[in-house]
A and B are shown apart, each in its own frame.
Chain A
Amino acid sequence: MGSRIEILNEAGFRSDGRRQFELRDLTIDLSKHGEADGSALISHGLTQVLVSVYGPREAKMRSHTFHDRANINVEVVVASFSTGERRKRQRGDKRVLEFAATIKSTFEPVIRTNLYPRSQIDIYVQVLQQDGSTLQTCINAATLALMNAGIPMTDFTLEENDIPHVTVAVMPKTKKVVLVTMETRLHVDRFEEILNLARDAGAILHQEMKEAILARSANISVP
């Protein structure tokens, strides 16, 4: 109604041929990646994110150690070729730092850091392609990579987003919401509707991720 671009046309198709309640294609690859203790490569639509997890290991810097729990270190690299317009982001780019901080705060309550005092868990996020819902894919990939690394967590973390962008991270077992971010304006009345929708979608993603993990685990048990 608002812009010239129709979000859903009369017959209920999106511009890429999906219907309203169809999520984009999700491919999960949990195969071992280099030296990382755990890694996951997720393609969600055309967004592609590779997450490698190192640790828990001894912190490189003394100042980064806590005597009662592990330190989580998140570093995000956005590939300069990830969007149509080639654009190099500096390491200290504020948006990337904020992105990393969001991921970090999402995982802090989930990872049982108190099991590993004086150590550090490194989460390296590499955004290879961006085509919407980047944060969502990063968190999902990080969850899988952490699991793949065998780091004890209380729950999965995953999330979903919708138009106008709402990103929600939920823990599917406890149904706790760990993160909600939104950068666009949305009427208060609509918010609850969208939040619920996002949680339902999260449950579907959970199913998909669980299957991927189980398939991977099956491979491990038969060496």
Chain B
Amino acid sequence: MVEITIRKRPRSEAVVTQRKFFKKTARGKVIKVLRERYLRDDVGCGIQSCQECTESCTPQANHLVMSGPDHGLFPDGHFLLPDTNVFLSQMDLLESPLFRPPIILLQTVIEEVRHRSLPLYNRLKALMAMDEKSIWVFYNEYRSETAVIREENETPNDRNDRGIRKAAAWYTTHLNTNVRGKAPKKPPTIVLLTEDAANRQKAEKDGLVTLSVRKYVEAMNDASQLLDLLASESEEIEPTRAASGKQFLYDEYLPSATLIGGVKAGQLHQGHFNANQYNYLEGSVSVPAFSKPVLLIGRENMNRATNGDIVVVEVFPEDEWKAPADEVVDQDSTLKNDDVESGDEDDGEDLVARVESKVVEYEKRDAEKQPTGKVVGVIKRLWRPYVCHIDSTSLTSSNATSLSVQTVFATPVSRLLPRIRMRTRQAPSLIGQKILVSIDRWDVTSRYPEGHFVRALGKVESKEAEQESLLLEFDVPYRPFGKAILDCLPKEGEQWVVPQKSDASPEWRDRQDLRDLNICSIDPPGCQDIDDALHARLLPNGNIEAGVHIADVSHFVHADTPMDNEAASRGTTVYLVDKRIDMLPALLGTNLCSLRPFVERLAFSAIWEMTPDADIVNVRFTKSVIASKAAFTYEEAQIRKDDANQKDALTEGIRLLNTIAIKLKAKRMAAGALNLASPEVKIHLDSSESSDPIDVEQKEMRETNSLVEEFMLLANISVAQKIQETFPQTAVLRRHMPPPKTNFEKLQDILMKRKGLALDVSSSGALAASLDKCLDPTEPAFNTLVRIMATRCMLSAEYFCSGSVARDTFGHYGLASPIYTHFTSPIRRYADVLAHRQLSAAIGYSPLHPSLHSKPHVERILGVVNKRHRMAQMAGRASVEFYVGLALKGREERVQKSGAGAVTEEAFVIRTFRNGLGVFVSSLGIEGLVMFKKDLQFDAENYTLSIPKPGSADLVAISVFDKVTVRIEVEKDKNTQRGRVKMTLLSPVDSKDM
């Protein structure tokens, strides 16, 4: 027990010990706030060899060690003391692993960063937590010598600057008296790092050593690489900045007060900016005021917004409204001639302008008119580092070894982003590499945003670079687990086993011994993290007992530990084709929690008693100890079940499970569950080492897949009911909202016009029934295609906290279940871990952690998990896409070797454009675009494109749902080295030269 003391605050020094400020309340009332401040002398300076601060009361472990003489200007060693601007503008530099001088981080700086930008504050926190950085947080506002009071007529900014200078001065004298330098017995220098020229002047007057970031980095030993990391605006914040004579390309944003006022008054509208991936000159913003998103056409109207930004738009009068373009406009091909250096008003400009104006001018189709407007302000930028390629045509210096600074274009991998102009010294070496680029700013005079180089990821198309760029693009946290997290694992490590059964051991408390049951697991081949196992047996009364046993992750991962926090922020395990990014350390995921066969494992079991008709008599949940008897793949289990000669208990169990699963599925379907389809393909890898994809095939669905699925659904539903009953306010549930009917309008229209089929979307049951009727007798794959397209019209499922939404919106549309949660995969999904904790509390096994009683807390965690879940799905899909590309390339080479020409596949048309076709190749699970060089005869009403036959005047009509044959090639973009799939039509018309 720590001793409780009374902290004395001298009354006589009320000026320093009290803080007075005025605050404006939400209602606009100004109130005076008086706060106390307790100043102390025991705030440590954090320098290792300091004689005075040895028993510092600050419990930070890593004391700063003086830097070696590796900096040209400070041979006696130094400590860096950066001010706020450095963190606000040069975070990439500070995060670089090459930049590692000891840093003193002032409390004033942390607070100012937090006040100015929350994302940067979060990055700063992550930076502080990194093991390899040496950063000491000095609480200068609590130390009596360094605390400052805001003076009259002083801005908060000036006060903070003064505080920083004071702390620097204190450190300098503190080091002089307490720390000796290395050889010449000179104390190390404190270097005040600031971008603010005025601040530097003042500091120099006070006798402090001060430098700008650029000067500091230039004198470092590995300067050339670090200099690229400097943000482009680091040309100093000079008091007077020469007004540039450049022409304004964009309108200035309105002042933020006008924006907020306009949004409140309903004249302006706020929403997320979504760029159009087919047309770089078009974007849209969904706003609550209109049912259709507001369309932004042309660069001027998009006004420097980038994908994801929260923007404010002004909507034009209704007679200026337009319909979205039905043309594909590719940035790469249109803008090839754009020059980087001077950039914006040269010869290429006219051409670009002409193409652009042509694109913007198309006839107004009344039916599809959308509200149209322009961006007048950005509330919040969603800029992050983007994965890019250097555009080789933008290189000015032809000298391949030139290290001079030059300006180049970086083209983001994502088609939703504009290219970024950046200055670099290593341009020649960066060509053909994937690099990470941050946007720093986007001025009204500049056509493109300006950014700086962060780091190189590796060669284009190398597995490592592609993998890392995927993870970065989808914001997947992939750093290895830190020490604090690994410390939460059981001490025994790999040797951990379930202890001998005894009343004394905590593992066995209230646990049921299910080791005798014939439990087995069924998973995809090569599965290491086995979350679930099953069993079934006949009861003497003729009923059937079926059990689902889930890995007991909550036994190992306790609430509010570093491991738990990390898992919560990761949210889910991410599966890429050749890599898995775990949510939990591998020791737990693939060993201690994984329900591997022939070993005893802790489990959380749901056990039902059912009638032979699969009606549930009762269900109970219990913590248990199980010993799985076998780990099957779906295929093995299927073979075993179908083999009539196998009569052992395990096989009988699988058969029993299967009969029930069939009945469960029938019931679910009768209740209106949807049978959805998504293009799932499987990548065959050559061998586990080389991971070269050989080929792609569609995933096969077996009876046993459905068996496992049915029981997992059953377990999830049963658990959802239980936890919702016990914790009506904070239960962790999952729902799937019914899609708005308007989402289906387009698909319904196409189906009706092209095939004469009607889609009834009034309920999930009706939709399921009408999807079943969408058949084309000549084309068996048509039904799957419609299902895929219907799935895309739906909303995605999400986790939610039961207390935060209305009870009647709990339902899961796709499963047609009134309530649902995720319980069955706690190793790879964090929501399941929460459900485990709640269920454990609901059955009285353990008390519920207070955080799970708090609605805001649960909501916040689930918000993160939802986001991560979405990102993980996209990352997985992108990874498959990349491998499909590689596989195609491999196939192409083989085909060419054999002399057959090119890879051809059958495809369905899913979209029609004025100058192209969107096609879906179901055998590869990819979508592609067939582009034509010129506009063709296009009937938008009937989704039909008429293509002239080569050599004759006949036209061939191609419309949505038509089956075509395409030639697939993998082509490398010469500028960006980006490999991409190019499709051309082979039949009915060969479009090679079109």
Residues of the B chain whose Cβ atoms lie less than 8 Å from the Cβ of A201: 4
Instruction: Give Cα A20–Cα B7 distance, bound, in whole angstroms.
Output: 11
Tell whether A85 pairs with B5 under 8 Å between CB atoms, given A11-B137, A13-B139, A17-B40: no
Instruction: Give Cα A85–Cα B57 distance, bound, in whole angstroms.
Output: 37
> B851 within 8 Å of A by Cβ?
yes
Instruction: Decide if A187 touches B60 in the complex (CB within 8 Å).
Output: no
Residues of the A chain whose Cβ atoms lie less than 8 Å from the Cβ of B25: 85
Instruction: Decide if A16 touches B37 in the complex (CB within 8 Å).
Output: yes
> B847 within 8 Å of A by Cβ?
yes
Tell whether A21 pairs with B8 under 8 Å between CB atoms, given A16-B35, A84-B31: no
Q: Which of A22-30, A68-76, A88-96, A110-118 contacts B (4 or more CB under 8 A)?
A: A22-30
> B141 within 8 Å of A by Cβ?
yes
Instruction: Decide if A11 touches B139 in the complex (CB within 8 Å).
Output: yes
Name the residue among A11, A197, A201 with the largest chain B CB count within 10 angstroms: A11
Residues of the B chain whose Cβ atoms lie less than 8 Å from the Cβ of A16: 35-38
> B853 within 8 Å of A by Cβ?
yes
Closest to A189 in B: B847
Instruction: Decide if A27 touches B11 in the complex (CB within 8 Å).
Output: yes
Instruction: Decide if B38 touches A18 in the complex (CB within 8 Å).
Output: yes
Which residues of chain B from 23 to 38 have any CB-CB distance to chain A below 8 Å in the complex?
23, 25, 29, 31-38
Instruction: Decide if A21 touches B33 in the complex (CB within 8 Å).
Output: no
> B850 within 8 Å of A by Cβ?
yes
Instruction: Give Cα A200–Cα B5 distance, bound, in whole angstroms.
Output: 10
The 6 closest A-B pairs by CB, nearest first: A17-B142, A25-B9, A22-B7, A17-B38, A84-B31, A187-B850
A8 → B minimal CB distance (Å): 11
What are 28 residue pairs bridging A and B, where the CB atoms are less than 8 Å apart in the complex?
A: A1-B560, A1-B851, A2-B854, A2-B857, A11-B59, A13-B139, A16-B36, A16-B38, A17-B141, A18-B38, A20-B2, A21-B3, A21-B4, A21-B5, A22-B4, A23-B5, A24-B7, A25-B7, A25-B36, A27-B11, A84-B23, A84-B32, A131-B34, A187-B850, A187-B853, A189-B847, A204-B4, A208-B6
Instruction: Give Cα A11–Cα B128 distance, bound, in whole angstroms.
Output: 12
Instruction: Decide if A11 touches B58 in the complex (CB within 8 Å).
Output: yes
Name the residue among B34, B40, B142, B853 with the largest chain A CB count within 10 angstroms: B142
> A190 within 8 Å of B by Cβ?
yes
> A183 within 8 Å of B by Cβ?
no
Instruction: Give Cα A84–Cα B30 distance, bound, in whole angstroms.
Output: 9
Instruction: Give Cα A13–Cα B2 distance, bound, in whole angstroms.
Output: 15
Closest to B58 in A: A11
A-side interface mostly: loop
Interface size on B, residues (CB 8 A): 41
Instruction: Decide if B6 touches A45 in the complex (CB within 8 Å).
Output: no
> A213 within 8 Å of B by Cβ?
no
Indicate with 1 or 0, residue by residue over B5-23, a CB within 8 angstroms of chain A CB atoms.
Answer: 1111101000000100001
> B856 within 8 Å of A by Cβ?
yes
Closest to A203 in B: B4
> A210 within 8 Å of B by Cβ?
no
B5 → A minimal CB distance (Å): 6
> A19 within 8 Å of B by Cβ?
yes
Closest to B3 in A: A21
> B183 within 8 Å of A by Cβ?
no
Instruction: Give Cα A144–Cα B753 distance, bound, in whole angstroms.
Output: 90
> A153 within 8 Å of B by Cβ?
no
> A46 within 8 Å of B by Cβ?
yes
Instruction: Give Cα A13–Cα B23 distance, bound, in whole angstroms.
Output: 24
Residues of the B chain whose Cβ atoms lie less than 8 Å from the Cβ of A19: 7, 57
> A12 within 8 Å of B by Cβ?
yes
Which residues of chain A from 168 to 223 have any CB-CB distance to chain B below 8 Å in the complex?
187, 189-190, 197, 200-201, 204-205, 208
Instruction: Decide if A21 touches B34 in the complex (CB within 8 Å).
Output: no
Residues of the A chain whose Cβ atoms lie less than 8 Å from the Cβ of B33: 84
Interface size on A, residues (CB 8 A): 32
> A10 within 8 Å of B by Cβ?
yes
- Chain A residues near B (Cβ < 8 Å): 1-2, 10-13, 16-27, 45-46, 84-85, 131, 187, 189-190, 197, 200-201, 204-205, 208
> B1 within 8 Å of A by Cβ?
yes
A213 → B minimal CB distance (Å): 16
> B816 within 8 Å of A by Cβ?
no
| Total cross-chain contacts (CB, 8 A) | 88
> B39 within 8 Å of A by Cβ?
yes
Residues of the B chain whose Cβ atoms lie less than 8 Å from the Cβ of A45: 36
Residues of the A chain whose Cβ atoms lie less than 8 Å from the Cβ of B7: 18-19, 22-25
Residues of the A chain whose Cβ atoms lie less than 8 Å from the Cβ of B36: 16, 24-25, 45-46, 131
Instruction: Give Cα A131–Cα B850 distance, bound, in whole angstroms.
Output: 28
Residues of the B chain whose Cβ atoms lie less than 8 Å from the Cβ of A23: 4-7
Instruction: Decide if B6 touches A204 in the complex (CB within 8 Å).
Output: yes
Which residues of chain B from 471 to 517 have any CB-CB distance to chain A below 8 Å in the complex?
none
Residues of the B chain whose Cβ atoms lie less than 8 Å from the Cβ of A187: 850, 853
Closest to A25 in B: B9
A67 → B minimal CB distance (Å): 44
Residues of the A chain whose Cβ atoms lie less than 8 Å from the Cβ of B3: 21
Instruction: Decide if B34 touches A17 in the complex (CB within 8 Å).
Output: no
Instruction: Decide if A26 touches B38 in the complex (CB within 8 Å).
Output: no
Instruction: Give Cα A18–Cα B930 distance, bound, in whole angstroms.
Output: 68
Residues of the B chain whose Cβ atoms lie less than 8 Å from the Cβ of A46: 18, 34-36
A211 → B minimal CB distance (Å): 11
Instruction: Decide if B137 touches A10 in the complex (CB within 8 Å).
Output: yes
Closest to B34 in A: A46
Instruction: Give Cα A20–Cα B9 distance, bound, in whole angstroms.
Output: 16
Instruction: Decide if A11 touches B37 in the complex (CB within 8 Å).
Output: no
Instruction: Give Cα A26–Cα B38 distance, bound, in whole angstroms.
Output: 13
Residues of the A chain whose Cβ atoms lie less than 8 Å from the Cβ of B847: 189
Instruction: Give Cα A187–Cα B7 distance, bound, in whole angstroms.
Output: 29
Closest to A202 in B: B4
Instruction: Decide if A200 touches B38 in the complex (CB within 8 Å).
Output: no
Name 19 extra pairs, CB < 8 A, besides A25-B6, A25-B38, A197-B4. A1-B857, A12-B59, A20-B2, A22-B7, A22-B38, A23-B5, A24-B6, A24-B9, A25-B36, A26-B6, A27-B11, A46-B18, A46-B35, A84-B32, A84-B33, A85-B25, A187-B850, A187-B853, A201-B4
Residues of the A chain whose Cβ atoms lie less than 8 Å from the Cβ of B6: 22-26, 204-205, 208
Which residues of chain B from 254 to 299 have any CB-CB distance to chain A below 8 Å in the complex?
none
Instruction: Decide if B2 touches A21 in the complex (CB within 8 Å).
Output: yes
Residues of the B chain whose Cβ atoms lie less than 8 Å from the Cβ of A17: 37-40, 139, 141-142
Residues of the A chain whose Cβ atoms lie less than 8 Å from the Cβ of B141: 17
Instruction: Give Cα A12–Cα B58 distance, bound, in whole angstroms.
Output: 7
Instruction: Give Cα A85–Cα B58 distance, bound, in whole angstroms.
Output: 36
Residues of the B chain whose Cβ atoms lie less than 8 Å from the Cβ of A197: 4
B39 → A minimal CB distance (Å): 6
Instruction: Give Cα A36–Cα B142 distance, bound, in whole angstroms.
Output: 41
Indicate with 1 or 0, residue by residue over B628-670, a CB within 8 angstroms of chain A CB atoms.
Answer: 0000000000000000000000000000000000000000000
Closest to B848 in A: A187
Residues of the A chain whose Cβ atoms lie less than 8 Å from the Cβ of B11: 27
Residues of the B chain whose Cβ atoms lie less than 8 Å from the Cβ of A20: 2
Closest to A160 in B: B4
Which residues of chain B from 837 to 874 have any CB-CB distance to chain A below 8 Å in the complex?
847, 850-851, 853-854, 856-857
Instruction: Give Cα A84–Cα B29 distance, bound, in whole angstroms.
Output: 11
Instruction: Give Cα A24–Cα B38 distance, bound, in whole angstroms.
Output: 9
B144 → A minimal CB distance (Å): 10
Instruction: Give Cα A26–Cα B36 distance, bound, in whole angstroms.
Output: 13
Residues of the A chain whose Cβ atoms lie less than 8 Å from the Cβ of B9: 24-25
Instruction: Give Cα A24–Cα B5 distance, bound, in whole angstroms.
Output: 9
Indicate with 1 or 0, residue by residue over B922-953, a CB within 8 angstroms of chain A CB atoms.
Answer: 00000000000000000000000000000000
Instruction: Give Cα A11–Cα B141 distance, bound, in whole angstroms.
Output: 13
Instruction: Give Cα A208–Cα B856 distance, bound, in whole angstroms.
Output: 40
Closest to B60 in A: A11
Residues of the A chain whose Cβ atoms lie less than 8 Å from the Cβ of B34: 46, 84, 131
A156 → B minimal CB distance (Å): 16
Closest to B849 in A: A187
Which residues of chain B from 123 to 166 have any CB-CB distance to chain A below 8 Å in the complex?
128, 137, 139, 141-142
Instruction: Give Cα A189–Cα B850 distance, bound, in whole angstroms.
Output: 9
Residues of the A chain whose Cβ atoms lie less than 8 Å from the Cβ of B856: 2
